[in-house]
Amino acid sequence: MLTLRNAQDRGLAFHGWLKSFHTFSFGHYRNPDEQGFSDLLVINDDRVIAGKGFGQHPHRDMEIFSYVLEGALEHQDTLGTGSVIRPGDVQLMSAGHGVAHSEFNHSQTQPVHFLQIWIVPNVQGAAPRYQQQHFSAQEKRGTLRLIISPDGAGGSLQVRQNARVYAGLFDGDERATLTLPDNRHAYVHVARGSVELNGQLLHEGDGVRVRQEHMLELGNGVDAEVLVFDLRPHELPGMP
């Protein structure tokens, strides 16, 4: 069963320097029907103008990853990490028992567009850690490349949860399928472009809750970039 979360129904925060669409409840956007899905708590689609960003702020007990679509995002944290994240890079910060970070547009002239996504961990109070890995367009072209997993399989980043995240690029005749294990949920988010999921046309910003499906097929894309989450079979996030 596929349940569409239409892009135009998402929450919106606009602060001049920031335009952010919220798939699930976040900040001042509260929707009782959109409190996350399985262990997926936040999908924020952020656009930040040149030279601006989020000042240092704390997190704990959350798996937070950033996926840059355009531009460059500069990261600093209290672990001593300093990095610049560009398209193709995936950054995963496990907040553990506590960490503070800042995220700014690295450019003084161009905007940055990125997704920030939160997954609830399966353990509390763990040591904070930082991971970053580049996945080339070639690795994602016409396929679903594993980018996050519980065990770091295939060079993916390691998340503290029974969840897997795949990224794919689809245009024209390119197609890919993902077989889901028995008794699993999934969530599909279209980061940009348009694509068909099991024959259903999706557009940029659309999301789909997937229940009781054994196979996902993506194809007929038009400059599409897609994230697919393989998740535990429950409805709402909850701390362990």
Q: What is the pLDDT along the chain (240 residues), one digit of tens a residue?
A: 999 999 999 999 999 999 999 999 999 999 999 999 999 999 999 999 998 878 888 889 999 999 999 999 998 888 888 889 999 999 999 999 999 888 879 989 999 999 999 999 999 999 999 999 999 999 999 999 999 999 999 999 999 999 999 999 999 999 999 999 989 999 999 999 999 999 999 999 999 999 999 999 999 999 999 999 999 999 999 887
What total number of domains does the chain contain? 1
Q: Where do the H-state alpha helices sit in 55-162?
A: 137-140
Any idea which residue has 């998340």 for tokens? 159
pLDDT of residue 101: 81
Task: Look at residue 236 and tell me if it is in a domain.
Answer: no
Count of beta carbons in the 10 Å neighbourhood of residue 118:
21
The structure tokens listed for 193 are 């472009």
CA dist list (Å): 202 to 36, 48, 147 = 20, 25, 22
Mode of pairing for the β-strands spanning 145-149 and 157-158 = parallel
The Cα–Cα gap between 146 and 201 comes to 23
CATH number of the domain that residue 208 is part of:
2.60.120.10
Task: Look at residue 83 and tell me if it is in a domain.
Answer: yes
Domain with 77 in it: 2-231
Residue 166, SS3 per DSSP: strand
pLDDT of residue 150: 98
pTM here is: 0.96
pLDDT of residue 134: 96
Task: Look at residue 227 and tell me if it is in a domain.
Answer: yes
Query: What's the angle, vertex CA 177, arms to CA 174 and CA 179, rounded to 5?
Result: 170
The amino acid present at 223, given as its one-letter code, is D
Backbone phi, psi, residue 153, to 5°: -60, 145
CA dist list (Å): 195 to 2, 127, 215 = 15, 39, 16
Task: Look at residue 237 and tell me if it is in a domain.
Answer: no
Task: Look at residue 240 and tell me if it is in a domain.
Answer: no
Give rounded-to-5 percent helix, strand, coil for the chain: 5, 55, 40
pLDDT of residue 211: 97
pLDDT of residue 102: 81
pLDDT of residue 169: 98
Count of beta carbons in the 10 Å neighbourhood of residue 101:
21
- Among 220, 190, 221, 193, CA closest to 206: 190
Produce one character per residue of 46-68: b if its CB has 16 or more CB atoms within 10 Å, e if not: bbbeeeebbeeeebebbbbbbbb
Task: Look at residue 111 and tell me if it is in a domain.
Answer: yes
pLDDT of residue 80: 84
